Amino acid sequence: MIKAILIFNNHGKPRLSKFYEHYTEDTEQQIIRETFHLVSKRDENVCNFLEGGLLIGGSDNKLIYRHYATLYFVFCVDSSESELGILDLIQVFVETLDKCFENVCELDLIFHMDKVHNILAEMVMGGMVLETNMSEIITQAEAQSKMEKSEAGIAGAPARAVSAVKNMNLPEMPKNINIGDISIKVPNLPSFK
């Protein structure tokens, strides 16, 4: 099973930390620091597998990591997972994030931490791989966020207005407005709920 999924940047600041086994808060932070220390020492062209640090289970556990631009994606797994498979999983995860955020960058991960967690929850559950089909993951994640937005009520009016304007189908606007005639063709706007 996957013990932990960590994303941190080149200076060791955590951008996402998800633990599938219980550790105290202090231990969690120590694990993040230790993992950063181990992973940042690695050269660019060495292999992506490392023995785990002492805190997260020693030599039984492996750290499988990938370095993209300024971020390290580290999965800490035990021996029951296929190492190359996890490497592919990291790739799928990053591609999914890319599709969801459109050219994802570190700032996206910083400011939309909850969205990243939701996407991750569709891929890995309880330390086990749940779904690897990108389109399926994205569909589900979007459906859920739609549900959230629809619940937002009056307070969500400005946000919904913005999204409504975005979704407005401009070609449907009438090419000519007959001023002489009282009846003016009004474009079809999506109804507010």
Partner 1 sequence: MTPSVRLQEMIRVIRSARTQGEERGIIQKECAEIRAQFRQTDNGERSHSLAKLLYVHMLGYPAHFGQMECVRLIASPRYSEKRIGYLGAMMLLDEKQDASLLITNSIKNDLSHSSQYVQSLALCTLACMGSSEMCRDLAPEIERLLRASTSYIKKKATLCAVHIIRKVPELAELFTPSARSLLSEKNHGVLHGAVVLITELCERNAETLDKFRKAVPELVTIMKGLVTSSYSPEHNVAGISDPFLQVRILRLLRILGHNNDSASDAMNDLLAQVATNTDSSKTAGSAVLYETVLTIMDINSESGLRVLAVNILGRFLLNNDRNIRYISMTSLQKIVQTDHNAVQRHRGTIVDCLKDQDTSVKRRALELSLALVSPVNIRSMMKELLIFLSSCPVELRSQTASGIFNAAERYSPSKRWHIDTILHVLTTAGGDVRDETVPNLIQLITTASELHCYTVHKLYRALVKDISQQSLVQVACWCIGEYGDLLLKGECEEIEPVQVTEDDVLDALETVLQSHMSAPATRGFALTATMKLSTRITDNVDRIRSIVSIYGSCIDLELQQRAVEYNALFKKYDHMRAAVLERMPLMEKNSPGHTNGDSSGEIKEPEPAKTKPVEPILLSEPANQVCDLLDLLGGTDTPVQPSSAPTSTATTTSSADLLDLLGGLEPTPVPAVTVYEKNGVSLKIQCDSQTDTDITVTLIASNSTQNDISNFTLQAAVPKSVQLQMKAPSGNVIAAHGLGQVTQTVLLNNPNKVSLKMRVRVSYSDQGTMLQDTVQIDSFPSPSWNSQPSIGVL
- Where does this chain bind partner 1 (CB under 8 A)? 14, 16-18, 20, 22, 25, 28-29, 32, 43, 45-51, 82-85, 87-89, 91-92, 110-115, 117-118, 121, 125-136, 140, 143-145, 147-149, 151-153, 155-156, 158-159
- Please name the residues in contact with 115: beta carbons below 8 A apart, sequence gap of 6 or more: 100, 101, 141, 145
C-alpha distances (whole Å) from 127 to each of 2, 48, 66, 77, 154 are 4, 20, 19, 9, 38
Residue placing its CB nearer to partner 1 in the complex, 126 or 180? 126
- Please name the residues in contact with 124: beta carbons below 8 A apart, sequence gap of 6 or more: 2, 5, 18, 20, 130
Residue placing its CB nearer to partner 1 in the complex, 50 or 97? 50
CB of 127 to partner 1, least distance (A): 8
Tokens of 103: 């050219």
Residue placing its CB nearer to partner 1 in the complex, 88 or 172? 88
CB of 178 to partner 1, least distance (A): 40
CB 71 within 8 A of CB 15: yes
Residue 111 neighbours by CB distance under 10 Å = 9
Residue placing its CB nearer to partner 1 in the complex, 22 or 171? 22
CB of 69 to partner 1, least distance (A): 18
